[in-house]
């Protein structure tokens, strides 16, 4: 057979196989819908892009309220290390800058500089929002009801993949601490 005949045969075979089993096209809406507190769309830090947190359905979350000018701001390094170590196993780290404790930059570009340039953050950071009181963003409203409001910057919340449990850690608990690692490992093992 010459090469043109081979190409024709290959083309006919692939057409036949495609007719037998039509390709499944994922439905992005169905894949991102969820019926829990994460069904909310929030804008990313210094971006026009938004993210619906249902995108992380079925994955444990590490949610942190952050600030650029806090004594705990160097914890970004530990959070980034946790993100890099556990992202391939399913953990999703999410940062929520807040000025609730008067330690966040006034301009979002300055907040982004601290996160992305000074600390090399690659996990998802959202636009500055409230994390306490009646003005709290929808994610923190739920976390506050499930546990209690953060008393300072860099409170860390580990949320189970099924969204049924929330474990809260205060500012003094470093991201790389044994307590945090044990909680993360437990959630990854449970998912």
For 92-141, the pLDDT digits (tens) are 999 999 999 999 999 999 999 999 999 999 999 999 999 999 999 999 99
pTM above 0.95, yes or no: no
Residues 22-50, mean pLDDT to the nearest whole number: 75
Residue (of 145, 137, 144, 161) closest to 61 by Cα position: 161
The share of the chain scoring above pLDDT 90, in percent, equals: 82
Find the catalytic residue in 9, 34, 70, 115.
70
For 145-156, the pLDDT digits (tens) are 999 999 999 999
pLDDT higher than threshold 90 for residue 33: no
List own/partner pairs for 100-106 with CB under 8 A and 24 or more apart: 100/65, 100/130, 100/131, 100/132, 100/133, 100/150, 101/67, 101/70, 101/152, 101/153, 103/67, 103/68, 103/69, 103/70, 103/153, 104/67, 104/68, 104/69, 104/128, 105/68, 105/69
Tokens of 104: 């966040």
What residue ranges define each of the domains in the chain, with the CATH number in brackets? 31-190 (3.40.30.10)
Residue (of 138, 110, 135) closest to 43 by Cα position: 138
Residue 159 host element (H or E): strand 156-159
**115 carries an active-site annotation:** no
Residues 14-40, mean pLDDT to the nearest whole number: 56
């Amino acid at each position: 057979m010459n090469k043109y005949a081979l190409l024709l045969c290959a083309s006919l075979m692939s057409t036949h196989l495609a007719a037998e089993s039509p390709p499944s096209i994922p439905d992005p809406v169905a894949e991102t819908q969820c019926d829990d507190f994460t069904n909310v769309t929030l804008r990313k830090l210094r971006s026009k892009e938004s993210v619906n947190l249902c995108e992380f359905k079925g994955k444990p979350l590490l949610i942190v309220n952050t600030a650029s000018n806090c004594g705990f701001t160097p914890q970004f390094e530990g959070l980034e290390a946790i993100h890099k170590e556990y992202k391939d196993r399913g953990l999703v780290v999410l940062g929520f800058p807040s000025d609730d404790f008067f330690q966040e930059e006034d301009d979002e570009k300055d907040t982004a500089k601290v996160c992305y340039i000074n600390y090399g953050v690659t996990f998802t950071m959202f636009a500055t929002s409230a994390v306490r009181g009646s003005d709290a963003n929808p994610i923190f409203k739920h976390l506050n009801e499930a546990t209690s409001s953060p008393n300072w910057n860099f409170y860390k919340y580990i949320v189970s993949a099924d969204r049924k449990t929330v474990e809260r850690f205060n500012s003094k608990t470093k991201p790389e601490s044994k307590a945090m690692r044990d909680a993360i490992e437990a959630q990854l093992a449970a998912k």
